């Protein structure tokens, strides 16, 4: 089961935004984007949007989790997100860094070159933590992309905002100005929120203007946070989505009936969550036989890892991986993964092969990888939910479209 970049994936949704709103004329040449969503699931289908479109990315919201809610929610209100949802895939690896970059560029990871939480960057000769935008062994943040440095050194595709998509981004104030935020949203207007109530207030302020922006990218991270700690939980997902829909109900009420009916709301996720067992995590840095076979530390994610092997040691590496991994785990060469299109269609980022490495591994649940870099931050070892791999719970995300009035409660 692989991402469906031909019209049923997250970057295709981004291309549908371009079809619905269009790009303003800019100084950069037009680039070839992935196709829009398949006609049967694209609410715009090339038609101009009647009002603003709010793209609400709920981090950690998987299709399976939403589908399992069923019935009525905790307030006795119809769970119309679940009723309206269509499954689409995220990208590979099914993780935030790759998925959000695909949503902001309308490109697959093969093209934009953001391929995991940890990534080897040949230009710097280091393995970097892309969320912190620093080498994995560095305690400080943003040492690779200090403010003012062009983010295209890491991201091989321009953002849609740089190409002229008129958008405002609403995300956590703690992310403001960070290297990863600039990587994602270069060219967009930025607004931030501190708390749940502040999220609603900011959304009202943005959409309540006399001329609101055509596109609003809104990012919500709290569901992902709790599912990492507690593991996939229908009850927690229900409570979190109830709260989020209630906040949107406040926004709809404050905007008034006419504006909330005219405002489109597109809800999706960047990945789902698969259950993992902390006691069965494989700490690669504590596997000396494995580390001795590598050219540099492992990269990728907890549930999808890349290994760059010492010259002529591939057979030994595969043998060692099979020794420590559970049955059913996928161990593939880069060539096989590339041929099968896991990362997406060509043209490839020029460093795709170097950034990925030689061997791609997707362990069977509930196993995941961790890596502790010398002098780097200590990874959290108590995760009970994770993502990155190809399990249905990780790869499939919901795609929900309607008006703000229809998809909120109040």
The CATH number that applies at residue 264 is 3.40.720.10
Q: Tell me, yes or no, whether 233 and 290 share the same domain.
A: no
| 53-62, 229-238, 383-392: the lowest-pLDDT one | 229-238
Q: Tell me, yes or no, whether 263 and 286 share the same domain.
A: no
Backbone angles phi, psi at 390, to 5 degrees: -115, 10
The H or E element containing residue 306 is strand 304-307
Q: Tell me, yes or no, whether 182 and 48 share the same domain.
A: yes
Give the pLDDT of residue 254.
97
Q: What DSSP string describes 235-296?
A: HHHHHHHHHHHHHHHHHHHHH-HHHHHHSEEEEE-S---EE--GGG-EEGGG-HHHHTTBSS
- Our count of domains for the chain comes to 2
Tens digit of pLDDT for each residue in 66-107? 888 764 455 544 457 888 899 999 999 999 999 999 999 999
- C-beta separation of 54 from 21 below 8 A: no
Kindly state whether residue 17 falls inside one of the protein's structural domains: yes
Distance CA 252, CA 255 (A): 5
SS3 332: strand
Q: Tell me, yes or no, whether 251 and 324 share the same domain.
A: no
- C-beta separation of 211 from 165 below 8 A: no
Give the pLDDT of residue 82.
85
Q: Tell me, yes or no, whether 167 and 316 share the same domain.
A: no
Tens digit of pLDDT for each residue in 306-353? 999 999 999 999 999 999 999 999 999 999 999 999 999 999 999 999
Distance CA 61, CA 237 (A): 8
Kindly state whether residue 258 falls inside one of the protein's structural domains: yes
SS3 299: strand
- C-beta separation of 64 from 42 below 8 A: no
Distance CA 134, CA 376 (A): 10
Q: What is the pLDDT confidence band of residue 25, given thresholds at 50, 70 and 90?
A: low
Q: What DSSP string describes 356-392?
A: H-SEEEEPPTT--EE---TTSPPPP---SEE-BS-SH
Beta partners for 94? Answer: 388
pTM attached to this predicted model = 0.96
Kindly state whether residue 1 falls inside one of the protein's structural domains: no
Q: What is the DSSP letter of 340?
A: T
Q: Tell me, yes or no, whether 183 and 332 share the same domain.
A: no
Q: Tell me, yes or no, whether 189 and 311 share the same domain.
A: no
Q: Tell me, yes or no, whether 19 and 104 share the same domain.
A: yes
Kindly state whether residue 236 falls inside one of the protein's structural domains: yes
Distance CA 295, CA 217 (A): 39
Q: Tell me, yes or no, whether 327 and 372 share the same domain.
A: yes
Kindly state whether residue 5 falls inside one of the protein's structural domains: no
Kindly state whether residue 364 falls inside one of the protein's structural domains: yes
Give the pLDDT of residue 79.
55
Task: For residue 313, give the CATH number of its domain.
Answer: 3.30.1360.180
Tens digit of pLDDT for each residue in 146-174? 777 788 889 999 999 999 999 999 999 99
**Which range, 141-145, 174-178, 288-292, has the best average confidence (pLDDT)?**
288-292
Distance CA 392, CA 74 (A): 26
Distance CA 151, CA 179 (A): 8
Residue 302 has pLDDT above 70, yes or no: yes
Beta partners for 306? Answer: 299, 360
Q: Is the peptide bond before 347 cis (omega within 30 degrees of 0)?
A: yes
Q: Is 374 exposed, middle or buried (0-12, 13-18, 19+ CB in 10 A)?
A: exposed
Q: Which domain holds residue 267?
A: 10-275+393-407
- C-alpha atoms less than 13 angstroms from C-alpha of 262 in its C-beta half-sphere: 14
Left (φ > 0), alpha (ψ -120 to 50) or beta: where does 123 sit? alpha
Those residues whose C-beta lies under 8 Å from the C-beta of residue 303, and which sit 6 or more positions away, are: 93, 94, 95, 274, 276, 362, 363, 365, 368, 369, 386, 387, 388, 389, 391, 394
The full 3-state SS of 52-103, as one line of letters, equals CEEEEEECCCCHHHHHHHCCCCCCCCCCHHHHHCEEEECCCCECHHHHHHHH
Q: How far apart are the first and last CA of the chain?
A: 39
Strands 167-172 and 189-193: parallel
Both tokens assigned to 102: 């695909």
Give the pLDDT of residue 292.
97
Give the pLDDT of residue 50.
82
What b/e readout covers 143-156, taking b as 16+ CB neighbours within 10 angstroms?
bbbeeeeebeebbb
């Amino acid at each position: 089961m692989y991402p469906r970049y031909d019209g049923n994936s997250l970057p295709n949704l981004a291309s549908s935004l371009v079809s619905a709103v269009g790009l303003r004329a800019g100084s950069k040449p037009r680039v070839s984007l992935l196709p829009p969503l398949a006609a049967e699931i694209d609410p715009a289908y090339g038609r101009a949007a009647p009002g603003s479109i709010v793209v609400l990315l709920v981090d950690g919201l998987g299709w399976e989790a939403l589908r399992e809610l069923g019935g009525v929610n905790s307030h006795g209100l119809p769970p119309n997100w679940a009723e309206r949802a269509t499954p689409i895939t995220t990208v590979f690896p099914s993780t935030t860094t790759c998925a959000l970059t695909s949503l902001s560029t309308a490109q697959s990871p093969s093209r934009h070159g953001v391929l995991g939480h940890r990534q080897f960057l040949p230009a710097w000769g280091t393995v970097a933590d892309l969320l912190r935008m620093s080498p994995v062994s560095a305690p400080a943040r943003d040492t690779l992309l200090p403010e003012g440095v062009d983010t295209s050194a890491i991201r091989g595709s321009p953002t849609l905002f740089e190409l002229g998509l008129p958008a405002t981004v609403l995300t956590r104030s703690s992310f403001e100005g960070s290297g990863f935020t600039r990587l994602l949203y270069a060219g967009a207007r930025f607004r931030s929120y501190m708390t749940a109530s502040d999220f609603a207030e900011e959304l009202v302020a943005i959409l309540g203007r006399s001329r609101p922006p055509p596109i609003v990218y809104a990012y919500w991270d709290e569901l992902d946070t709790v599912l990492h700690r507690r593991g996939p939980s229908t009850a927690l997902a229900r409570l979190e989505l109830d709260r989020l829909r209630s906040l949107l109900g406040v926004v709809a009420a404050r905007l008034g009936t006419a504006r909330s009916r005219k405002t489109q709301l597109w809800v999706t996720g960047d990945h789902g969550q698969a259950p993992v067992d902390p006691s069965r995590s494989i700490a690669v840095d504590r596997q000396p036989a494995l580390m001795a076979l590598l050219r540099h530390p492992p990269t990728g994610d907890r549930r999808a890892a890349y290994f760059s092997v010492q010259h002529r040691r591939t057979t030994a590496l595969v043998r060692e991986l099979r020794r420590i991994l559970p049955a059913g785990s996928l161990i593939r060469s880069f060539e096989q993964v590339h041929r099968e299109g896991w990362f997406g269609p060509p043209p490839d980022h020029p460093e795709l092969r170097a950034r990925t490495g030689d061997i791609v591994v997707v362990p069977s649940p509930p196993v995941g990888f961790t890596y502790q870099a010398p002098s780097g931050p200590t990874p959290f070892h108590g995760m009970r939910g994770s993502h990155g791999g190809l399990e249905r719970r990780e790869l499939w995300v919901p795609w929900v479209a309607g008006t703000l009035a229809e998809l909120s409660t109040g």
